[in-house]
Amino acid sequence: MQLIKDKEFGGERPLFASHDLHLDNVTILAGESAIKECSNIVATHCRFEGNYPFWHVHGFTIQDCYFAVGGRSALWYSDHLKMTDTLIDAPKMFREMNDIELEHVVMNDADEVFWRCERIRANDLKLHGGTYPFMFSNHIYVDGLESDSKYVFQYVKDVEIHNARITTKDAFWEVEDVTIYDSELNGEYLGWHSRRLRLVNCHISGEQPLCYAHDLVLENCTFDPSCDRAFEYSTVRADIRGSITNIKNPTSGHIVADHIGSITLDENIQAPADCIIEQRNCCQ
């Protein structure tokens, strides 16, 4: 593997169609497509300032690097990436990619990141700002996620999340086969129109959570007092610890909680309208 160390590159496509390169302490200055149509690339301690540096790259490692604001849309149409200990200030990262592995990555403008990607595995990922992270992506595993981005995880399939703190709005809409463990989910309108969403040991806050959901499961979950009108038009099996403020018009299933503030079952409830709702026996 050829080593390129302590260099600067700018302009258009300076390393186009390169293969088997190790870039160490390299700065990619203003320009476009610096490392396009490449393979087997290792970048360590590098700085990326120009647009679109990694497009159509197959097999690459990015370690202890920095993507400046100008390095927007940096990683598209590529596969088999391992990224560690990297700080990203650029938006619109990760599009149409496969086989992404991330560890200790911070994204300070998570606008439209991880769109239409397949097989993402992340440990200790922080997403700040922006909208619609992970849109239309599938086969995702995350352990350790902190996110305040809006509209996170929409239209995703086959997702497993552990130890997350997500503060957002309209999260997990139109998802399929998503399981979330040991996490805090803060924001309005959580999980609407989802299919087979499962929450285990989670704390939920925000108005009107988990409506229009199909085959929804909650195990040992807690609710903030702000959670009113929960489960409207949902098919649900829920084991709720502590109190829930209000349950409204669930379609079917079984909901049990330590305490239920109020239940709304009105003329708008949808058939079969046979959901069992009950408070847990205080002696159990």
152 and 275 belong to one structural domain:
yes
27 and 126 belong to one structural domain:
no
Q: Which residue matches tokens 């403008």? A: 109
**Within-domain flag for 147:** yes
**Within-domain flag for 15:** yes
Range of the domain at 111: 72-279
**Within-domain flag for 42:** yes
User: For each of the chain's 284 residues, which pLDDT tens digit applies?
Assistant: 899 999 999 999 999 999 999 999 999 999 999 999 999 999 999 999 999 999 999 999 999 999 999 988 999 999 999 999 999 999 999 999 999 999 999 999 999 999 999 999 999 999 999 999 999 999 999 999 999 999 999 999 999 999 999 999 899 999 999 999 999 999 999 999 999 999 999 999 999 999 999 999 999 999 999 999 999 999 999 999 999 999 999 999 999 999 999 999 999 899 999 999 999 875 44
This prediction has a pTM of 0.93
As a whole number of Å, the end-to-end CA separation of the chain is 65
Domain with residue 203: its CATH number is 2.160.20.10
257 and 272 belong to one structural domain:
yes
225 in the Ramachandran plot: left (φ > 0), alpha (ψ -120 to 50) or beta?
alpha
**Within-domain flag for 284:** no
268 and 173 belong to one structural domain:
yes
136 and 268 belong to one structural domain:
yes
Instruction: Report whether the peptide linkage leading into residue 225 is cis, meaning its omega lies within 30 degrees of zero.
Output: no
Domain end (from 71, 98, 122): 71
Q: How far apart are CA 275 and CA 265, in angstroms?
A: 10
Domain end (from 56, 71, 86): 71
106 and 241 belong to one structural domain:
yes
19 and 63 belong to one structural domain:
yes
Domain end (from 36, 52, 71): 71
Q: How far apart are CA 230 and CA 246, in angstroms?
A: 6
Note the residue count of the chain. Answer: 284
127 and 245 belong to one structural domain:
yes
Domain count, the chain: 2
